Amino acid sequence: MPDSGQAATAGATASRGLAWLLLALVACELVDLYTALTGAGLLSKALVLLLPLAAWRSIAWREAYLLGLCALLFGLTWLFDKPVLEISGEGLSRAAFLASFILLMALLREGALQSRSVLEIGTFLTRQPPQRRYLTLFSGSHFFAVLINLGALSLLSPIIQRGVRAQIPEGAPLDDISEVRERRQLSAVLRGFSWFLVWSPTAVTQAVMPTLMSGIDATRLMLTGLALTLLMLALSWAEDTLRWRGYRKRLQAEGRLPLPTATRFPARAARGLGLVCLLLAGSSLAFTALGGVSIVSGVMLAAPLVVVLWIVAQQEGSGHARRAAAAERLRAVAFVSMPGYAREAIFIACAGFIGTLAAKLIPAAAVAEAIALDGQPGWLVLWVLTMLVWLFGQAGLSPITMAVFLGSVVAELPALPVDITLAALAIAAGTAVCTGGAPFSSGAVMLARATGYPATTLTWRWNGVYTAVAMVVLAGFYALLTRL
């Protein structure tokens, strides 16, 4: 038997090999997006197919289940005499794209990990007076989600819990005021994070929708998604205020209402982070225009360049010492951190493959004819698309898997009683509702791991009423959109 030293060496070698595979996958996908080289696309499909084998050490039950489902759908495609190679190739292409996207967005998270600006602004957001705290946390979580995706939850939640528990002895239970404060802040963070999915080009939903359905107006989708986000910010704040209004009055009557604390705005940190955002946005738009690609593809190429500059700017000293420190940090990102994102890459790749193949097994045209889809009210069609993502999320199906599945089904329909851009918005809104309202979503699972609260508490117990109200409001929003 190999000793522990040999095992560690073998593990390090495997991790380095996995890192090279992930880097090659990302590079091939970028070449495929920006050039006409067919070999790059074929190679990216082969690499995403090899990914589970290279990352077998990190695969858990969730990935094993999804990989088994991929195999089952592949078998069903062959059993029902479908064009297996064509459909599987489309599924692998989407899997490679989504895996590359999530890996490149993870790089932004790496840039944020050692950023003093990110930490200072996160701390500032959590220390606002009660009257402003909810709005600032929702908005701040939303902003950080655009920049660092799931990293927004892992960044803000520890800061929130440290602030709430600072005056409580270690191991002692929270008093009622601290419990409510922590609950409200964590709910604001989860809700703010979830709604970036409906408009941001750094969100996986916005990355996948244009690849599924042709004819989407990206600008309209972004602007309408932003309007929906503002509506949900107002709704979320109103629900939180009404829910806890009686409790606040009781504390005031008892003389236990906490005094507001003064906080100083970290102007320097805001300027630094603002420059990073401007650089990301500017370079993304430039690559989009120069390459004639979608804004999402522009973000994918801009992300690694921005991260390199961000990491270099974070190093102290000057000259050779600064370059050496930056090079060391970048090596750590590529060969230590990158393999750690293999599970996320496998998960999202499986979601793309499963959604694509499942949609091909559904006789979309026959189903549309059977339910007289053409004659259905447009707002109802949009609402059902959102509801389906949420419902299947309760059964443990990833909202991204459902987004790919529904997007692929919609693309197969001969006609649709609503604009294709609004259909994409409705599906994206479903992933947002599911993220805050289903315990199996990635956002809920991430927040549960970071805080110690069960995902069912964070979603069903704390956000159940809000989710139900949001679904009602969405019906009205869709009715308004279909009349414009």
Q: How far is CA 53 from CA 6, 17, 340, 359, in A?
A: 21, 11, 15, 26
CA 160, CA 164: separation in Å to the nearest integer?
Answer: 6
Residue 442 lies in a domain: no
Domains held by the chain: number: 1
Share of the chain above pLDDT 90, in %: 51
In sequence order, what are the residues at sequence separation of 6 or more whose Cβ sits closer than 8 angstroms to the Cβ of residue 145? 152, 192, 193, 196, 200, 203
Q: Is the pLDDT of residue 469 over 90?
A: yes
Instruction: Determine which of 172-176, 350-354, 402-406 has the lowest per-residue pLDDT on average.
Output: 172-176
In sequence order, what are the residues at sequence separation of 6 or more whose Cβ sits closer than 8 angstroms to the Cβ of residue 448? 439, 454, 455, 458
Q: Is the pLDDT of residue 308 over 60?
A: yes
Q: Is the pLDDT of residue 252 over 80?
A: yes
Mean pLDDT of 2-27: 76
CA 474, CA 429: separation in Å to the nearest integer?
Answer: 9
Residue 357 lies in a domain: no
Residue 74 lies in a domain: no
Question: Each residue of 98-131: pLDDT tens digit?
Answer: 999 989 988 888 888 788 888 888 888 888 877 7
Domain containing 318: what range? Answer: 111-237+266-340
Q: Coil, strand or helix: which one is 241?
A: helix
CA 180, CA 432: separation in Å to the nearest integer?
Answer: 24
Residue 215 lies in a domain: yes
Count other C-beta atoms under 10 Å from residue 289's C-beta: 11
Instruction: Determine which of 150-159, 181-190, 319-328 has the lowest per-residue pLDDT on average.
Output: 150-159
CA 391, CA 403: separation in Å to the nearest integer?
Answer: 12
Q: How many residues does the chain have?
A: 484
| Single pTM value for the model | 0.85
**Confidence at residue 9, expressed as pLDDT on a 0 to 100 scale:** 58
**Confidence at residue 344, expressed as pLDDT on a 0 to 100 scale:** 86
Nearest C-alpha neighbor of 204 from the set 58, 95, 334: 95
Residue 304 lies in a domain: yes
- Angle among Cα 216, 219, 225 to the nearest 5 degrees reads 90
Nearest C-alpha neighbor of 402 from the set 392, 412, 417, 410: 392
**Confidence at residue 388, expressed as pLDDT on a 0 to 100 scale:** 95
Type of residue at 194:
S
3-state secondary structure 166-206: CCCCCCCCCCHHHHHHHHHHHHHHHHHHHHHHHCCCCCHHH
Mean pLDDT of 360-377: 84
What is the C-alpha radius of gyration for the chain, rounded to an integer number of angstroms? 23
**Confidence at residue 1, expressed as pLDDT on a 0 to 100 scale:** 47
Nearest C-alpha neighbor of 49 from the set 74, 14, 76: 74
DSSP state letter for 396: T
Helix axes 378-394, 462-483, angle to 10 degrees: 160
Residue 5 lies in a domain: no
Question: Each residue of 454-463: pLDDT tens digit?
Answer: 999 999 999 9
Residue 482 lies in a domain: no
**Predicted confidence band of residue 386 (pLDDT cuts 50, 70, 90):** very high
Q: How far is CA 57 from CA 11, 60, 214, 339, in A?
A: 9, 9, 38, 11
Residue located via tokens 């996160």: 122
**Confidence at residue 3, expressed as pLDDT on a 0 to 100 scale:** 57
**Confidence at residue 457, expressed as pLDDT on a 0 to 100 scale:** 95
Q: Is the pLDDT of residue 438 over 80?
A: yes
Question: Each residue of 188-229: pLDDT tens digit?
Answer: 999 999 999 999 998 989 888 888 888 899 899 999 999 999
Residue 278 lies in a domain: yes
